[in-house]
Amino acid sequence: MAAWLAGSRAGQAATGGNVAKAYMPEIGTDYATTDPVNFDPEFPPVHFPHSFKSKGKPIQSFMWLANGPEAKGCVIISPQANGGDALDSLIPALLSAGINVMRFNPRGMWDEYENYSGLGSLEDLHSAIAFLRENGGRHSIPGSGDKPRQYQIDLDRIAVLGKSGGGGLNGLIAASESPYLNTMIAVEPARLRELPPGYDKHFEEVRVATDGRIDQKMWFDKLTPAVRERKDVLKAVPKLVDKNILLIGSMDKDYVQNIHKPIVQAMTAARAKHFSAMILETGNSFMLNKRIALTRIVISWLKNECGF
């Protein structure tokens, strides 16, 4: 058990006693470090690019299919707002656990056709869910010949995994808005709030360093009151009480005080039925020194708590 839990602590450490269920990973196959035992030569694991439409625009996406022909759950990875950390490091372990993975690039993140926005990326996440549900979840691998390989998504087992604003926050809001998204893993989600002094300088440094691609000040300046209202995670809590929600954060003081604690307290007060929360013993929001611990937690929770 110590090996499983190294680097993690229960929600009480971060919430002052007003806690959700503190998720404790169960011992079993360690998919973070173990390749699949079985291999199906007719339906091997595969990775391929594809696209779907959102607001009439093509969204570039990638799919990873796990071994075997049976219907499988699918985790949609919604990337961090600036296109940085999409948690791709978890993908091989998810496949080993028999879970398909889809990751997409929201409009404007890597293309020049329009500007990335918090609202647009949320709409694109809803479109990703709708794409998986097309044809009852039955899809074909593009470019696989005259007899294209088919794969089946289990529509009752669609989850979103994401970090920060583009992933964690968007996933929580999408879960509150969509009847078809019942499972969400939010890794250090953001909240739309007044930013501390000094952030303008930081935003400008990032804008210059990325040759203007990442202009966070522009994103914040364009947030309308309606968008802020829609993406207020605390106001979304009443619509999350029946969902499977796992909240994972770091020990960063600003995150714990202004994001983790308020979300945990709101979900606890609303008597959320399937909500778990935990803090990893890392002060870095990217959790780069706790990726194996993070991977074990995510997969154990999906399989043992959510039936993936």
221 and 79 housed in the same domain = no
**pLDDT for residue 196 is more than 80:** no
Name residue 254's amino acid.
D
Task: Give the residue from 230, 257, 284 where a domain finishes.
Answer: 230
Asked which of 66-80, 83-97, 102-116, 222-236 is least confident by mean pLDDT, the reply is 102-116
Pick the closest to residue 60 from 112, 100, 95 (CA basis). Answer: 112
What is the average pLDDT across 166-194?
A: 94
How many angstroms separate the CA atoms of 149 and 164, rounded? 35
34 and 23 housed in the same domain = yes
Asked which of 57-71, 83-97, 160-174, 201-215 is least confident by mean pLDDT, the reply is 201-215
How many angstroms separate the CA atoms of 46 and 63, rounded? 8
Name residue 307's amino acid.
G
List, in order, residues 6 or more apart from 186 with CB less than 8 Å away.
162, 167, 168, 169, 171, 172, 245, 246, 247, 248
Q: How far is CA 120 from CA 59, 128, 139, 295, 303, in A?
A: 11, 12, 25, 28, 31
113 and 73 housed in the same domain = yes
Q: Which domain holds residue 27?
A: 2-192+231-306
Task: Give the residue from 206, 230, 254 where a domain finishes.
Answer: 230
59 and 128 housed in the same domain = yes
What is the average pLDDT across 26-51?
A: 88
Q: Domain count of the chain?
A: 2
75 and 122 housed in the same domain = yes
Query: Degrees (nearest 5) of the Cα angle 192, 84, 224?
Result: 25
Report the length, in residues, of the chain.
Answer: 308
45 and 131 housed in the same domain = yes
Query: What is the tens place of the pLDDT at every residue in 255-300?
Result: 999 999 999 999 999 999 999 999 999 987 778 889 999 999 999 9
Query: What is the tens place of the pLDDT at every residue in 213-251?
Result: 778 888 788 888 999 999 999 999 999 999 999 999 999
Do residues 230 and 173 lie in contact, with contact meaning Cβ atoms separated by under 8 Å? yes
Check residue 27 and give its pLDDT.
56
* Burial category of 263 from C-beta neighbours within 10 Å (exposed 0-12, middle 13-18, buried 19 and up): buried
17 and 156 housed in the same domain = yes
**Bridge pairing between strands 244-249 and 57-65:** unpaired
200 and 276 housed in the same domain = no
Q: How far is CA 91 from CA 77, 108, 212, 264, in A?
A: 9, 24, 30, 27
Q: How far is CA 180 from CA 123, 128, 184, 301, in A?
A: 14, 11, 11, 19
Task: Give the residue from 205, 230, 255 where a domain finishes.
Answer: 230
How many angstroms separate the CA atoms of 168 and 227, rounded? 16
What is the average pLDDT across 153-176?
A: 96
**pLDDT for residue 43 is more than 50:** yes
Check residue 188 and give its pLDDT.
94
How many angstroms separate the CA atoms of 118 and 165, rounded? 8
Report how far Cα 62 is from the mean position of its chain's Cα atoms: 15
71 and 124 housed in the same domain = yes
How many angstroms separate the CA atoms of 48 and 143, rounded? 9
How many angstroms separate the CA atoms of 164 and 277, rounded? 15
Check residue 287 and give its pLDDT.
87
Of all residues in the chain, what percent carry a pLDDT higher than 70?
90
125 and 221 housed in the same domain = no
256 and 298 housed in the same domain = yes
Tokens of 112: 């020049």
Do residues 227 and 125 lie in contact, with contact meaning Cβ atoms separated by under 8 Å? no
CATH number of the domain to which 175 belongs = 3.40.50.1820
218 and 249 housed in the same domain = no
**pLDDT for residue 97 is more than 90:** yes
- pLDDT category, 26, cuts 50, 70, 90? low
Do residues 175 and 182 lie in contact, with contact meaning Cβ atoms separated by under 8 Å? yes
